[in-house]
Amino acid sequence: MDNSAVLESVVRAAQDVIPALTSEPVAGVEVVDAGPGPLDVSVVVGFAGALRGLVMLQMSEETALVLSGKMLGQDCRELGPMEQSCLSELGNMVVGSASGILEADGYGLKLAVPAVVLGRQHRLVASTSQEGQAARLAWCSNEIWLRVVAEEA
C-alpha cells in the first residue's frame, strides 16, 4: 500500500470527523505532491502494525483557534491546554477513523498518543524511505493540511 492510499483514507476520515465535531463542512479537498510551508500548529499521530508512519494535521494558529473554538462552542483567543486537548482529540479521531478504513483493507494499525506541536519555527521530518503526500482541506474559510508518511512494515 502506498502513501496515496493511506492519504485517501485519512482524507475520507477527516471529511466525516471535522464536520461532526464542528458543525462546519469540509468545502473542498486538493491532493498535492508537496506539503505546506511552515505552519504554526501540527498534530502528529504515529502508527505501527502492517504499516508504520505518521499522520500530521497542520494549520495556522488562526485556524487552530477557530477549530478548537467550534469544538468547544466558544471563542478561543489562545492555544491553552483546553484548546490543545481539542486539537489532540481531533487528530486521534481522524487517524482512528482512518485506521478503521485501513483495517477493512487488511491493514491493522496501533496508534500512538497524538502530540500537538506549536510554533512557526518547528519542522517535522519523518525518517522513512517513502516520500509523504499531502492534502489541503478547505474548511470554514481556512485551510487544514493533512500529511501522511507511511511504509509497509
DSSP codes of every residue in 62-100: HHHHHHHHHHHTS---S--HHHHHHHHHHHHHHHHHHHH
In this prediction, residues 18-45 reach a mean pLDDT of 91
* Least confident piece of the model among 5-19, 44-58, 115-129: 115-129
Task: Kindly report the length of the chain.
Answer: 153
Instruction: Tell me the pLDDT of the chain averaged across its residues.
Output: 90
Taking 80 as the threshold, does the pLDDT of residue 123 lie above it? no
d(CA 109, CA 150): 12
Joined grid coordinates for residue 66: 477557530
CB contact at 8 A, 144 and 27: no
CATH number at residue 40: 3.40.1550.10
Q: Please tell me the total count of domains within the chain.
A: 1
Q: Collapse the DSSP code of 41 into the 3-class scheme (helix H, G, I; strand E, B; otherwise coil) and give the result.
A: strand
Tell me what pLDDT residue 120 has: 75
Write out the residue range of the structural domain in which residue 111 sits: 3-152
What values do phi and psi take at 59, rounded to 5?
A: -165, 170
